[in-house]
Amino acid sequence: MSANTLDASLAKHVREKYADYTYDMFMMNMSAELEEMQLFSEYVDVLNEKKIYTFEAARGGTQGPENDLDRFNGEKVHVVNLSSYNYLGFSYHPDVIKAAQDAVAKYGLGASSSPVISGTYTVHKQLEEALVKFFGLPGRGVSLFTAGYSVNLGAISAFIKPGHHVIMDSASHMSIVEGAKLSGGETSFFRHNDMAHLEELLKEKCDEFTRVLICVEGIYSGDGDYGNIKDVVRLAKKYGAFTLVDEAHSALVSGKHGRGVCEQQGVLEEVDLYVMTFSKAFGGVGGAVYAKKEITQYMNWYAKCRMFSCALDPAVTGGMAKVIELAGGPLGNERRERIKENATYYRGLLEDKVHVTPGDAWVVIVHFGSESKTLALNDYLQREGLDTSIIQFPAVPRNEARIRMFITSEHTKEQLKKAADIIVSAAQKFDFLKK
């Protein structure tokens, strides 16, 4: 088949079947040709022609409670923003911006080197010290990374060696899964938050020769529920395993002082590797591991994605140090209370009308079922004035697609009411009202 014939065949197939495609269908190809790339390109072109491609829309301002979107096809829409995880609004706080500007003025735009060569600046040490002080445990250290994804990749692959074992919650983020694969160790999954299943695996895998790392999350962003960290730690201690808790969606927000679900469940001191990302409640980019000093010092050298990457840029680093200061004071307490109030209020508007994952977290999940609805549904939501994050297969099981919404401390009740009204309207139109 010639290239032209192939292109025409792909285009025809995509135009006829575009609504049936899911993300995973463009990931594999058994031939030497670039068919999956051509097919995906055709797919995006068709969605744009039909004016229902809602992804990659450029935001016209800060990630605040409302935003202006420039859609891929040139259309402009104004939306209530429930797609950003800027939970406490720190990304645009004037003091944070000023701290970032001051750091750029002093250190320049980038670090221009690996952190173990010449890329570590005074401002990096200040951030490390601020984090150690914020979490408040003796003998702890911090290892900084340039991306939240890289933290799990680097931490797990440095901590676990071939011949050892990683046990993960089945709902774990892809960065945990890929970090486990990268380590060269064996891997297992336990059913989501199922402690009996976890214990079965620990009985099977733990012995005096095998290092076992259990990886879980404070809040699972695909489900909007909390990890059972207290019981995970209890089982880890019982069988001599180690624990990694990814607090990406809970650091600065959960717990009395914002130290995460580990603090909230009373096990902060007992967790071996505390992972945080700076792109959520911190409002920046990057991340860190908080652990005993000997562990973080080792990771500084043996987490390859840190060792062989440029250090965190000075502007973000300076901004994150200011965020820690604000989060640890009265403003942090005030915003933590407000985000909980907002999440409770928003859930209350929806619970009787649509299928909402139960709980009180600020990640609110509404289930709509078939992924065949995704494109038209997301387009409808944006046009009606609501921006969300939609998850479909293969990120979740088939026919369990869902709308994921991130509530922040900075949303007003009016904005949340508008968002809830749009969700209910969409549920009527796309047939996922609670029955």
Q: What is the mean pLDDT of the chain?
A: 93
For 93-327, CATH gives 3.40.640.10
Looking at residue 34, its pLDDT comes to: 85
Looking at residue 13, its pLDDT comes to: 65
The string of pLDDT tens digits covering residues 145-173 is: 999 999 999 999 999 999 999 999 999 99
Q: What is the 3-state secondary structure (H, E, C) of 57-68?
A: CEECCCCCCEEE
CA distance 122 to 417: 45
Looking at residue 337, its pLDDT comes to: 98
Geometric angle at alpha carbon 393, from 8 and 280, rounded to 5°:
115
DSSP assignments along 284-305, one per residue: SS-EEEEEEHHHHHHHHHH-HH
The string of pLDDT tens digits covering residues 354-395 is: 999 999 999 999 999 998 899 999 999 999 999 999 998 888
Looking at residue 398, its pLDDT comes to: 86
Looking at residue 341, its pLDDT comes to: 98
Looking at residue 11, its pLDDT comes to: 66
Position 2 pLDDT exceeds 60:
no
> Does residue 162 have a cis peptide bond before it, meaning omega lies within 30 degrees of 0?
no
Looking at residue 311, its pLDDT comes to: 95
pLDDT interval class at 423 (50, 70, 90)? very high
The string of pLDDT tens digits covering residues 224-258 is: 999 999 999 999 999 999 999 999 999 999 999 99
- Residue 185's φ and ψ, nearest 5 degrees, are -80, 170
Residue 168 tokens read as: 């993960």
Domain limits, the chain: 58-82+333-430, 93-327
Do the bridges between strand 363-369 and strand 355-356 make them parallel or antiparallel, or are there none, so unpaired? antiparallel
For 58-82+333-430, CATH gives 3.90.1150.10
